[in-house]
Amino acid sequence: MPFKELGLSPDLLRALKPKAYPAPTQVQQELIPAAMAGHDIWVTAPTGSGKTVAYALPQLEKLIRSGLSLSLQEGNSQRTIQSLVLVPTRELAIQVGQTFMSLSAHLGKVCKITVVFGGVSINPQMMGLRGGTDILIATPGRLLDLLDHNALKISHVQTLVLDEADKLLELGFQDELSLILAKLPRKRQNLFLSATRPSRIESLAQSLLHHPLEIHIEGETPQPAVIEQRAIYTDTPQRTQLLKHLIKTVPLKQLLVFVATQHSSDTVAAKLRAAGIAAEPFHGQLSQGKRQQVLADFKAHRVSVVLATDLAARGLDIEKLPTVVNYDLPRSAVDYTHRIGRTGRAGEAGLAISFVCPATLQHWNLIEKRHHVKIELETIQGFEATQAVPEQGPGNGGVKGKRPSKKDKLRQTAATAVSAKPG
């Protein structure tokens, strides 16, 4: 099916260059007509399946059809936000903004698109919002800052898009999201999109959607066919030396390495640089300018290894990224999908390597169970694990959302103390 059969305007069709967009993907075929018809929609589709273009085109098409921007009629010089796109990270906000800008390149002044995110001065963003905007792409925290400064109003938003809805509906964003939802009109279209659909967000998502059309795409994911998944068993202190060994002997020429903390990001990057490997940290405490520079250097192959935390790396899109390494295993089994999905995109082959240590073996087994895979543990000569596997305790090995809470631990301690009392 060609894009012209989806009912898009000629100006939008001209933006869909055949080389980049030869034909609509499955999610685009299903989402675009439904979104233009005004339905609430919940999309679950794999990373790299074309979700951003799928929701961007209907928003631009609606502006063209309604002539909202062209009809900045006499006495009405203020644009009102028609579409609000919420994303969890600065990097994703920038990428989504670039997609909207590219697709609207032929529209001239028909559409004004604005991207706002934290980590940079708010003043230029406030200046950019003078006169309003048609489509706003924002991270929740910065949007609330702008609302507090009376820099914009969202009371006329017609469509709310949650990109990476699974992340935005989790506890870390729920308070911010609640404040934003309270300022939106109750009557609006809602588009929720994510690669995964955890059961813990199901109830909240359904409460926000009105008779949603559900689109679930499985067939397009390249992950099973083109991402080779490996697991290497080693001791915790040997991981940095093992990483150096793999980079130099496999060899691994460009890789995104996931670590658990900002400290690990900084220290492992420093150790790699000391070994003559071009490596840079990438985490939330870096300035936005530094993060953008690291990404630019990584994409241009001036940097070969990026050590990233989960928060910073979510939403990153590195074209033809060949390798992902889980230096630390993800705390959440769901995040394993997001991490390895950074490679093997758009049909390209990819490699995902996970370092498994005796202390994390139980957690690795749970990740395998959750993803219905069994990956043979390899050993590399000179880096074999010698540490003992800790005895299995209560809980599930650290999977996010399932570990005993502090109250549970206190109750357990109290119960043990009571049972230990004599007679």
Q: What pTM did the predictor assign?
A: 0.64
In this predicted structure, the answer to whether residue 99 has a pLDDT above a threshold of 90 is: yes
Q: pLDDT tens, 180-202?
A: 999 999 999 999 999 888 888 88
What mean pLDDT is predicted for residues 24-39?
94
Tell me if residue 86 falls in helix, strand or coil: strand
- Mean pLDDT estimate for the chain: 85
Please tell me the predicted confidence (pLDDT) of residue 313.
Answer: 59
Instruction: Check residue 218 and give its pLDDT.
Output: 77
pLDDT at 160: 97
pLDDT exceeds 60 at position 158: yes
Structure tokens at 333: 């089994």
CA pair distance 365, 345, nearest whole angstrom: 26
pLDDT at 418: 45
Q: Is 27 helix (H, G, I), strand (E, B) or coil?
A: helix
**What is the chain's alpha carbon radius of gyration, rounded to the nearest angstrom?**
23
Whole-number pLDDT of residue 77: 58
**Per-residue model confidence (pLDDT) at position 414:** 54
Q: What is the mean pLDDT of residues 192-215?
A: 90
Which pLDDT tens digit goes with each residue over 79-92? 889 999 999 988 89
In order of start, what are the domains of the chain with their CATH numbers?
3-216 (3.40.50.300), 223-378 (3.40.50.300)
Q: What is the pLDDT of residue 223?
A: 42
Cα angle value 275/279/281 (rounded, 5°):
130
Summary count for the chain: helices (H), strands (E): 17, 14
Dump strand ranges (E) for 366-418: 377-378
Q: Are 85 and 138 in contact (CB under 8 A)?
A: yes
Residue 312's pLDDT is 59
Q: Is the pLDDT of residue 406 over 50?
A: no
- For residue 212, give the H/E element and its range: none
